[in-house]
Amino acid sequence: MTGGSPSGRDKKFWYLQNHRLFDQLSDEAIEDLCIISRYKEAGRGEHIFFQGDMTDRIFILKLGAVKIVRTDAEGNEVVKDVLGDHDLFGQLPFSSRTDGGEEHAVALTDHVSICMFKRSDLELVLARDPRVSMRLATHYSERLRALEQRYDGLVFKDVRTRLLDFLRRYVELFGSERDAEGAVPNHLRQEDIAQLIGSTRQTVTATLRQLEREGLVCYSRQRIRLG
């Protein structure tokens, strides 16, 4: 690639070439991926997709973080997950959604970059190269294990333990943004955290204060640091 500002196609090529799903593909195969993918950038608070409009889309995060939000028939929103660099969201090729609910992703960071694929196009890539298929299956298995662990936590762990577990995962997710004191940016509301750990905002607030008194957590609207 030549000097100067990279084009959208150059950005896609570089990112896909360096993504763990595709880093063993040839340049020609990466070029094919560039043709079938779309590149999008979003800012904090912007909605990335709505399930009702884009059920056949798969998204790969290049940069930044998003929260996945589910909306029920009454318009109530629940935060389901927080995803960071290199994560996938949307409908994976070997999954199906029949519950009729609506989901969308909201950009949490100032700069979010994503690549979007049509599900049918990515299925063709998987059929041509078993290495990509295996890596995607591994990623999906890891996500399922993480969901199982979260479910187990809701059943067997108290709120204090669930909150500490979540904060550790969150700090790890944003580890590349740690400041000199080891704190990471706080992109979530306490209500978001409560929904993610199956609690209430009031309980989360009280538990955070207790953890701060014990020196285990330093929490503010701007930063989160573990003691």
Q: What is the pTM of this model?
A: 0.73
All domains in the chain, ordered by first residue? 8-131 (2.60.120.10), 157-226 (1.10.10.10)
pLDDT at 94: 46
Do residues 119 and 57 touch, judged by C-beta distance below 8 A?
A: yes
User: For residue 183, how far is the Cα from the chain centroid?
Assistant: 20
pLDDT, block means (10 residues), the chain with 227 residues: 50 77 79 80 82 66 87 81 82 50 82 83 78 76 73 81 94 88 93 93 97 96 93
N-terminal to C-terminal alpha carbon distance within the chain? 44
Question: Is residue 62 helix, strand or coil?
Answer: strand
Measured CA to CA, the distance from residue 26 to residue 13 in angstroms comes to 11
Measured CA to CA, the distance from residue 210 to residue 214 in angstroms comes to 6
pLDDT at 99: 52
pLDDT at 149: 75
pLDDT at 100: 52
pLDDT at 61: 86
pLDDT at 98: 47
pLDDT at 9: 62
Give the H or E element holding residue 5: none
pLDDT at 8: 56
Looking at the DSSP bridge assignments, the partners of residue 42 are 112
Q: Using a CB cutoff of 8 Å and minimum separation of 24, what contacts does 96-103 make?
A: 97/51, 97/55, 101/51, 101/70, 101/71, 101/72, 102/50, 102/51, 102/52, 102/70, 102/71, 103/50, 103/51, 103/68, 103/69, 103/70, 103/71
